[in-house]
């Protein structure tokens, strides 16, 4: 991914490509593999990586803006912190509680044979499978 794509991505979401957003977007999206993170962990990595300091509030703002624009998804993980995911497609996760690490599972790698029907007038929006690992 190149800078022009980042700018397109921001502009197409009606997000002004500010210095901070471009830096965070490059950090998040210019990579090949899925990246799972909390705002805290992202903030630490940004401090290490970059010279200019981005306010923590800006990291929160930006991550939420990217999520609202559909560039990030949220993953439920045990614990008090909110996890985000650069993989916004429908997929599942392994979770290694030893390392607190999430690992993607492609949607096609899990096939559910039997599933109960949704209750009274409700429909199924999506199905998330979360596989806890042990040693």
Partner DNA sequence: TTTCACTTTAGAATTATTATAAACTAGATT
Partner DNA sequence: AATCTAGTTTATAATAATTCTAAAGTGAAA
Judged by beta carbon distances under 5 to 8 A according to partner kind, the member of a copy of itself, Zn ion, DNA, none in contact with residue 87 is: Zn ion
| DSSP-assigned letters across all residues of 52-99 | S---HHHHHHHHHHHHHTTS-EEE--SSSSPEEES--SSEEEEEETTT
The pair of structure tokens assigned to 10 is 């921001």
Cα distance between residue 68 and residue 74, in whole Å: 11
Token couple for 6: 């980042």
Residue 55 contacts which entry, DNA, a copy of itself, Zn ion, none (Cβ below 5-8 A, type-dependent): DNA
The residue (of 17 and 29) whose beta carbon lies closer to DNA is 17
Candidate ranges 17-25, 35-43, 63-71, 118-126; the one touching a copy of itself (CB under 8 A)? 118-126
Closest by Cα among 28, 11, 18, 125 to 69: 11
Determine, following the binding rule CB under 7 A, whether residue 19 of this chain makes contact with DNA: yes
Partner interacting with residue 100 (select from DNA, a copy of itself, Zn ion, none; CB below 5-8 Å by kind): none
Tell whether residue 16 is a contact of a copy of itself (CB under 8 A). no
- Select from Zn ion, a copy of itself, DNA, none the partner in contact with residue 107, using the beta carbon and a kind-dependent cut-off of 5 to 8 Å: none
Please report, for residues 4, 43, 95, the alpha-carbon distance to residue 80 in angstroms, rounded to integers and kept in the order given. 36, 17, 15
Chain residues binding DNA by CB under 7 A are 11, 15-21, 38-40, 52-58, 60-62, 64, 80-82
């Amino acid at each position: 991914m190149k800078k022009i794509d980042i700018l397109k991505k921001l502009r197409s979401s009606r997000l002004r490509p500010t210095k901070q957003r471009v830096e965070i977007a490059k950090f998040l999206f210019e990579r090949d593999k899925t990246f799972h993170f909390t705002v805290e962990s992202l903030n630490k990595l940004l401090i290490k990586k970059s010279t200019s300091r981005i306010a923590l509030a800006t990291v929160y703002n930006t991550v939420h803006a990217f999520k609202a624009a559909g560039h990030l998804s949220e993953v439920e993980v045990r614990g008090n912190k909110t996890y985000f995911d650069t993989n916004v497609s429908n997929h599942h996760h392994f979770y290694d509680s030893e390392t607190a690490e999430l690992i993607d599972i492609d949607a096609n790698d899990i096939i559910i044979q039997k599933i109960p029907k949704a209750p009274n007038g409700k429909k199924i929006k999506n199905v998330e499978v979360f596989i806890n690992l042990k040693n």
